[in-house]
Structure 1
Amino acid sequence: MTSAPSPTGASAASVPARRTYSYLGPAGTFTEAALAQVPEARDQIWRPVRNVAEALADVVEGRSDAAMIAIENSVDGGVSTAQDALATMPGLRIIGEYLVRVNFVLVARPGTRIEDVTLVAAHPVAYAQCLRWLSAHLPDHAHLPASSNVASAVDMLEGVSDADAAVAPPAILEHHDLQLLAEEIGDNANAVTRFVLVGRTVAPPAPTGADKTSLIVELPEEYPGALMEMLEQFATRGINLSLLASRPIGDALGRYRFVIDADGHIQDERMADALLGLRRFSPKMIYLGSYPRADRAIVHYPERYSDEVFVEARDWLRALISGAPEA
């Protein structure tokens, strides 16, 4: 039995397979909003998952081609679950960075008035970011913790929770029939969450001049100046760090690994030289990737740290070793 020809006359084998992207679901989350910024993810398969570990496991085990995860928030700092997962799950690379403005709406079941609200469902982090607004406009309310920003609204709508209203992302209104009671209720209008797109280990994209390199580095042992010695690998090469966060390794009290975002690309001579120094220094260094910055801001550095200066210095050393006459 033969299959019918496709409408275009092309064989099924010539149709490229759709790619799969995992993200923290369900629909309407900030993570979904970050994934919507990825041009190559449009019209592909989006796989909602329950947590960061599941999203990254999808990538490692081949169920997804890439996963979008939150890595840092301008109000609350680093997302520890994501940092720890990247430190302990091998075979992953960050291939893109995306920023999402974070604000919230107060929603309820249709017909609810804000005067009727006494119990508000919210994820604890979202609740903390809206506490001033809630205290001013609903001074007698009580907080019902929710497992996620979207679940706070969905559980209320489906009668799973007893909440009268929920703090949720604005995109929730595109997916569910909810009453909008108030918008822009976040206490910090400038709150932003940084997301990264994570795939399997691949060669980094070519440098753009507006790049970032992410690493996780462990100190060799505890001794005075150990952290300074690690940081000097960057400082002596003119590399700015946009993120330096510590996370416990977990094998003993007082042992930490450091999550680092450094301005520049692994193919930059100064960054490559710093990575070689870190490799000699650290018992465990994880390279997470070099990728374009979300803000596309060009990385500036003093001329003495240009690629040409590093290349000239290496050529000078080779000439000394070879016994070539000095110019």
Structure 2
Amino acid sequence: MLGYFGPAGTFTHQALRTITDEDAVAFSSVREALEAVRRGEISGAVVPIENSVEGGVSATLDELIAGEPLAIRGEIVVAVEFGLYVREGTRLEDVREVLTHGHAAAQCRYWLAEMVPRATVTEAGSTAGAAAEVARPESHYDAAVCARVAGETYGLTELAYAIEDNPGAVTRFVEVGRAGAVPERTGADKTTLVAYMREDHSGALLEILEQFAVRGVNLTRIESRPTKTTLGSYCFSIDVEGHLHDRRVAEALAGLHRVCPRVHFLGSYPRADQARPKIGDGFTDDSYEAAASWVDGLGVPDAG
């Protein structure tokens, strides 16, 4: 059974439904969902990891490496559209207290400032949770910014839809399980890892990036995260094009292992968009094999 960052009606729930119709367990936080995976209570969990407007989801990036190693098994990308939902009878001009998730508030900031300028926006644990709260007759919140499915689930009235400031925004979700065998490569894959600097010095980040650049491995995301040890100490959460079983990726990981005190490998998995990387000359598996054969043959006398 899978779990997800709930409650029902969130975008995470919507993402989960794209991969299974079976019953799933909702958790009130990303941490609870991932800890349930670690304890073996569920086989995997779907959690948000990146938004095209707000960037990485800190809770997920941190919790993936906070305990027993986990592995990303797949990704789902969902279009993000928000609406303003209220109890029946509430008018737009009546809205004074709006409840929503922090990312939703950020993505609808300008619309809210223009259309409900006198409203105070409060952050909730999830957009669906905000809808559930607003649905309570005694709630002091007048409106929720949430997905249409959440508004409908909790019986709210839609005052406006597609209120996001950046149409076309998407959120990326990952299915996470316990560490194990890496899925076979498809040719359209991503690999996620977290690399730690050995020490903070000039060129420390460059040393990490060079491991990918010299092997023709393209990065699709890189974000710094505090190590939570001392001020100014950071690690880097990275997504790259390719699979662990691609020679260029494997050798880049080996290079990181040499220059970093710690590297968390979080999995290789199929890309949601099925886009295949453009591999430069000299970086295919055949190129690596040919180079290795050439080196092995150096110094060996010709048979003739």
Q: Same fold (TM over 0.5)?
A: yes
Cα distance, 1:251 vs. partner? 1.4
For structure 2, the 5+ residue unaligned runs are: none
Match of 1:33 among 5, 9, 14: 14
Distance 1:276 1:68 in 2: 29
For structure 1, the 5+ residue unaligned runs are: 1-19
Distance 2:66 2:244 in 1: 22
For 1:325, the aligned partner's letter is D
Distance 2:172 2:255 in 1: 28
Cα distance, 1:117 vs. partner? 2.2
Cα distance, 1:326 vs. partner? 8.4
Aligned to 1:14: none
Residue 150 of structure 2 is aligned to residue 169 of structure 1: no
Residue 180 of structure 2 is aligned to residue 199 of structure 1: no
- The SS at the match of 1:305 is coil
Aligned to 1:303: 281
Distance 1:86 1:133 in 2: 34
Aligned to 1:233: 211
- The SS at the match of 2:33 is helix
- The SS at the match of 1:303 is coil
Cα distance, 1:132 vs. partner? 1.3
Assess, with a 3 A threshold, how the Cα gap between structure 1 residues 256 and 142 changes in structure 2: closer, same or farther. closer
Cα distance, 1:25 vs. partner? 1.1
Distance 1:26 1:95 in 2: 22
For these two proteins, the number of residue pairs brought into alignment is 304
Residue 294 of structure 2 is aligned to residue 294 of structure 1: no
Aligned to 2:302: 325
Distance 1:62 1:166 in 2: 35
- The SS at the match of 1:88 is coil
Q: Is the 8 A contact 1:106 1:181 kept in 2?
A: yes
For 2:18, the aligned partner's letter is Q
Aligned to 2:4: 23
TM-superposition CA deviations, 1:6-31 (whole Å, max 9, x none): xxxxxxxxxxxxxx111111110010
Aligned to 1:126: 104
Aligned to 1:147: 125
Cα distance, 1:124 vs. partner? 3.0
Q: Which structure 2 residues correspond to residues 236-315 of structure 1 after superposition, within 5 A?
A: 236-315=214-293
Distance 1:114 1:183 in 2: 13
CA RMSD of aligned residues (A): 1.6
In the TM superposition, structure 1's runs of 4+ consecutive aligned residues that sit over 4 Å from their partners are: none
For 1:21, the aligned partner's letter is L
For 1:71, the aligned partner's letter is I
Distance 2:230 2:95 in 1: 47
Q: Which structure 2 residues correspond to residues 74-153 of structure 1 after superposition, within 5 A?
A: 74-153=52-131
TM-superposition CA deviations, 1:249-302 (whole Å, max 9, x none): 111222111101011011111111111111111110010000011111111111
For 2:3, the aligned partner's letter is S
Cα distance, 1:89 vs. partner? 2.1
Residue 189 of structure 2 is aligned to residue 211 of structure 1: yes
Percent of aligned positions with the same letter in both sequences? 43
For 2:13, the aligned partner's letter is E
